[in-house]
Each structure stands twice: as structure tokens, then as C-alpha cells.
């Protein structure tokens, strides 16, 4: 019986390399400079965002924030 235990230990120490799964070069999500935020919008803001058809919501919100920041910088140098 002891011989079986020795064989199992020896075979377990030499794992067979599998050809599937695991890390691969170039795999996974690409790095970006974006950061994701989750917000809760009021009913009024939600209606405005829901009515947008020509522009994606993300672009609309980002442009609004940048415009507001520029205005704030001009009024508070």
C-alpha cells in the first residue's frame, strides 16, 4: 500500500501542461485612461438624458462637466 502512495505523490509533482486556459500575451481588457462612475440622477436629469438621441450620454455629461469647469475657472481665477 505504501508503494501506491509514493506513486501518487510522484505523479502529482509533475503536472501535465494543459493547452487551454490561463494567461496569454495580448489577452484581456486593454488599458484605458477612462474611469467609470455610477451616479444617481434626479427625475429631471433622467428625463433630459433619456431624451438625448443624437449624442451618447457619456459624451453629453463629459462635455457639460468640462464646460462648467471652464466657466468656474474663468470666474474664480
pLDDT in tens for each of the 77 residues of the chain? 555 555 555 555 666 766 777 888 888 888 888 899 999 999 999 999 999 999 999 999 999 999 999 999 999 87
Instruction: Give how many domains the chain has, as a whole number.
Output: 1
In a domain, 38, yes or no: no
Distance of CA 60 to the CA centre of its chain: 20
Answer whether residue 10 is part of any domain: no
Q: What pTM does this model have?
A: 0.56
Instruction: Give domain status of residue 74, yes or no.
Output: yes
pLDDT of res. 29: 83
Residue 70 belongs to some domain of the structure: yes
Report how far residue 22's alpha carbon sits from residue 18's, in angstroms, rounded to the nearest whole number. Answer: 9
- Backbone dihedral angles phi then psi of residue 54, each to the nearest 5 degrees: -90, -20
Amino acid at each position: 500500500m505504501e508503494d501506491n502512495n509514493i506513486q501518487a505523490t510522484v505523479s502529482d509533482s509533475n503536472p501535465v501542461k494543459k493547452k487551454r486556459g490561463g494567461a496569454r500575451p495580448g489577452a484581456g481588457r486593454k488599458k484605458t485612461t477612462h474611469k467609470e462612475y455610477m451616479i444617481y440622477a434626479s427625475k429631471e436629469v433622467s428625463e433630459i438624458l433619456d431624451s438625448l438621441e443624437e449624442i451618447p450620454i457619456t459624451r453629453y455629461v463629459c462635455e457639460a462637466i468640462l464646460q462648467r469647469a471652464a466657466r468656474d475657472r474663468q470666474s474664480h481665477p
